[in-house]
A and B are shown apart, each in its own frame.
Chain A
Amino acid sequence: MSGIGVILGRELLALLRSSKVLAILLTVSVSAAFVVLLKWPTTAIVDLDGARGREVFRWITYAMLAASILAVPVFPSTLLVREVRRRTLELLLNSPLSRSSIYFGKLLAMLGFVVLLLSTTVPAMAAAYLMGGLTLTGDILRMYAFLLVVCLQLIVIGLLVGTWSRNTESALRWSYGVTFGLTIVPWFPDALFPGGTSPLAKGMALLKLISPIPGLLQMLNQNSLSGTGLMESRDAVLYYLCFAGLFIVAGSAVCISRLSHALLDRSRSQGYITDDQEGWIQASRRLLYIVDPQKRSKGIPWLVNPVMVKEFQCREFGRMHWLLRLVAGCAVLSLLLTLASARGTESRGVEYTGALIIVLQVSLIVLLTPGLAAGMIAGELEGGSWNLLRATPLGPARILFGKLVSVLLTLALLLCATLPGYAVIMLIKPILQPQVVQVLGCLVASAILAMLISAAVSSLFRSTAIATTVAYGVLIGLFGGTMLVWVNRDAPFGHSMVENTLRLNPMAAALNAMQAQGFTSYNLLPSAWYVAGVSSALLLVLLFVQTLRLTRPD
């Protein structure tokens, strides 16, 4: 126990000393207080059914969930990677502390941070309780306990990812990826292929329950969302808690087993190269791989931007053989979406299926873009390679162009994969052709905006981990936060307020163009394009100015 205490004390103290933690706690606390202020009774009319109190409760819960998903994975995922890179893990493993003491010390320190994070909303929650309509144990404490389990699962994800990743950037990317995979992705199969009594359909319906969101919505009695895929007749809370419990136990066991000297001893390939092998080996590898990953590169072609090629080469999955796999994956996704479009259109209408594809695409953009773009400048500044780039004759425009094109090409690949889905929609309902074109315009705008936000954020920080987290925060705020205003349309936000807010979000504009349910009463196009265009232009200017500043002599 004393071993756990030593680690716990050190980690928690380090966390509490960090200005980042203070900023997070302040932001959550101020956001929660703002919600209360917004809803605090200003007239003498008594709210007998406690609707206002419940509404504040809902908002604070959303804020807590968003803050947890955004902030909690950052610390555990980068913690272990930093310890490995600074060789302090070696010191810990060579001390008398057991592996489980080290693990649980870190886990509890992170949990301490989570408790602090959740407790910043206690005053706001107390105000909501005073407004009425809530019970202390049935609503408030139950919600806190549920969120604590969600955070515990996120911590385990972070620590687990930390034992595999080689750098903080990759750790963050994977942590957010797994979090996204466990919270958002499980909805899509059931939403795209609804109903059905086959075991597969039942499995897909059950899969949804591994996400904490259905359980949370059930606890909030959030019928206003009314998305068929969101509400659940089963006890979603119980299902989630069982899954989360199993995940936490299994994840902890795996993590403890991986906390060993093997973490410090990761060897890289010593440079096996096909070119040095016999002819038949080279031929068979070419047949097998199409693009052989172990073949010596022929060098960067004369007219191609060298920074762009370098960006692809440095990326974990940027090599040609990985891009081919990505194309294949996108083709499979495309086929699935085509099938879903055809089936969904029959059962639920074109608009519903179109809206789902839009949400899926934008979710993928939000998930992938910070990972691709948030480290483009911050990573080089952090690793010391920026000075090497500055010492070459490459100008800021060429450096920036190469970096942006490398992200844009990857995003374009992703967008192209979903085109057949839209083709099916247009085939079934040809009248929708202009709308589909508008949707595609919105998606392109979303991709460009997401890329420029992440890149601009990258130019403002010298740490990839911070830049990636901030980029995720801004993108989730833009694409998800504005949707929260839409969720609470008409109360407390009026029609014009919701419409103006949605103009900031190109995904909302796409849903509007697709005439998705709940978006028909707004007029978002073409103003949303102008907003996205002007924002992108401003971000590009900011990015260029920053790059120019960073490449100039100090």
Chain B
Amino acid sequence: MASDQPVVEISELSKHYGEFVALDRLSLSLNRGSILGFIGPNGAGKTTTIRILVGLSRPTSGTAKIAGADCVRELSKVRRLVGYMPDKFGSYDNMRVREYLDFFGAAFGIPRKERQKRVSEVLDLTNAVWMQDRYVESLSHGMQQRVGIARTLLHRPEVLILDEPANGLDPEARIEMRTILLRLAAEGRTLIVTSHILPELSRICDQVAIVAGGKLRAMGTLQEVTRTLSQRRTVEIQLLSGEGMQAAAARVKKALEADAEVTVSEAETIIRARTSAGDDTLGELLRAMVLAGDRVGQFREVAGDLEEAFVTAAREAEAERDAAGAAQVASREVSK
């Protein structure tokens, strides 16, 4: 689905609020038709990046472009290229869903006849036709999120930026949201989605970017990101029977480094090890087990997950912050 044409280009983007650095020389590029999962802990700089991309905030330095349009100098062009759904819905009292969408359609200058058609289309696309006559403020959170997406689609934007679209949704609504997002990507739109629900993102995104402490920590496919950030790998060794499991676990523990975590699941007859050992060490371990007579059924590495990468990135940022704080204290001491 994704083409080689970059549609979102961010280069050396920084945003400072006085002393506080919200974004620190962030650079990334996203191809047309991709779904980017933009993740990071609270205060990492996700919303700041998004606000710059939609023209709500001005960067201190660096550039951000959407389909070639500069997000600072060509604001009116950018507004037509981007569909933005903030984390706060922003409803109006006493307005029905159809009127709400009609207003935003008119704000984007869509002629009335075409607007009516377009409103019906986006309601259909988001499975929200049945709620068109309801009052916006009476909708549940999940329904409002759907109307929010419908609103972002009205002016046929190239890029959709959705801030926490799955936040507060029940499992069923989350599945529906996932289907809608995949459908939009299939139509060739580029999506930037932030979320704290990482398993959800890992299911739909073909690209993941992790930011923490205002810096981009990793970007790429899910596998690339987890490989970059995960310092430990999980190895599962399945034995054909539960006999001699504890002895086998002791052998595993001995073969790996001292702080490797080894757990035994007797019910599954699986020994799990979280280790930073390389491929050579693991090969040696397998050989040693076979030689010792352990009946190894499977010896496999479990793919790293996004949560782990996320936690690693967050810890990295925290360590950097602590180090910077300590350096500041030390320099103050020296100057005294």
Contact surface of A with B, Cβ cutoff 8 Å? 166-167, 267-273, 296-302, 306-307, 309-310, 313-316, 318-319, 383-394, 553-554
Contact = CB atoms under 8 A, between A and B. Distances in A.
Interface string B122-141: 00000000011111011000
A268 B138 contact: yes
B75 A314 contact: no
B86 A314 contact: no
A314 B108 contact: no
Nearest to B101: A299
B77 to A, nearest CB: 9
A296 B98 contact: yes
A371 to B, nearest CB: 13
Contacts of B93: 166-167, 314, 316
B90 A554 contact: no
Contacts of A389: 107
A296 B97 CA distance: 11
Contacts of B89: 384
Interface in B115-171: 115-116, 131-135, 137-138, 151
Given A268-B134, A387-B56, A553-B57, 9 more contacts: A272-B133, A296-B133, A310-B103, A316-B94, A388-B104, A391-B54, A391-B84, A393-B76, A394-B107
Task: Count chain B CB atoms within 10 A of each CB in A296, A301, A306, A316 and give the residue with the most.
Answer: A306
A385 B134 contact: no
B108 A393 contact: yes
Interface of B: 51-52, 54-58, 72, 75-76, 79-80, 82, 84, 86, 88-96, 98-99, 102-109, 111-112, 115-116, 131-135, 137-138, 151
A299 B90 contact: no
Given A300-B112, A302-B112, A391 B56 contact: yes
Interface residues of chain B: helix, strand, loop or mixed (majority): mixed
Contacts of A298: 112
B167 to A, nearest CB: 14
Contact of B91 (A271, A316, A383, A387): A383
Contact of A271 (B72, B96, B109): B96
8 contacts: A273-B133, A313-B103, A314-B92, A314-B95, A385-B91, A390-B55, A391-B54, A554-B56
Given A269-B135, A388-B90, A553 B103 contact: no
B112 A390 contact: no
B57 A393 contact: no
B138 A310 contact: no
A267 B107 contact: no
> Nearest 3 A-B pairs (CB), nearest first?
A271-B133, A268-B138, A306-B106
Contacts of B134: 268-271
Nearest to A388: B90
B212 to A, nearest CB: 22
Nearest to B132: A271
A306 B107 contact: yes
Nearest to B138: A268
Contact of A299 (B57, B92, B106, B108): B106
Interface core residue of A302, A315, A392 (most chain B CB under 10 Å): A392
A299 B79 contact: no
Nearest to A305: B106
Given A383-B90, A384-B90, A393 B104 contact: no
A496 B79 CA distance: 56
Contact of A391 (B79, B96, B102, B138): B79
Among B91, B96, B103, B134, which residue has the most Cβ atoms of chain A within 10 A? B103
A554 to B, nearest CB: 5
A301 B90 CA distance: 23
Contacts of B84: 388, 391
B109 A393 contact: yes
B106 A553 contact: no
Nearest to B89: A384
A298 B132 CA distance: 13
Nearest to B76: A393
Nearest to A315: B94
Contacts of A269: 134-135, 138
A388 B86 contact: yes
A313 B105 CA distance: 15
Contacts of B132: 271
A392 B86 contact: no
A383 B135 CA distance: 16
Contacts of B95: 310, 313-314
A392 B79 contact: yes
A333 to B, nearest CB: 25
Contact of B131 (A166, A271, A309, A385): A271
Contacts of A387: 56, 86, 88, 90
A271 B106 CA distance: 22
A545 B134 CA distance: 37
Contacts of A390: 55-56
A269 B95 CA distance: 11
A392 B98 CA distance: 18
B92 A310 contact: yes
Contact of A268 (B58, B112, B135): B135
A288 to B, nearest CB: 20
A266 B106 CA distance: 31
A268 B88 CA distance: 21
B111 A302 contact: yes
Contacts of A313: 92, 94-95, 99, 103
B131 A306 contact: no
B103 A554 contact: no
Given A299-B116, A385-B90, A554 B102 contact: no
A490 B137 CA distance: 56
A384 B109 contact: no
Contacts of A384: 86, 88-90
A471 to B, nearest CB: 19
Contact of A553 (B72, B80, B109): B72
A554 B112 contact: no
A291 to B, nearest CB: 15
B90 A392 contact: no
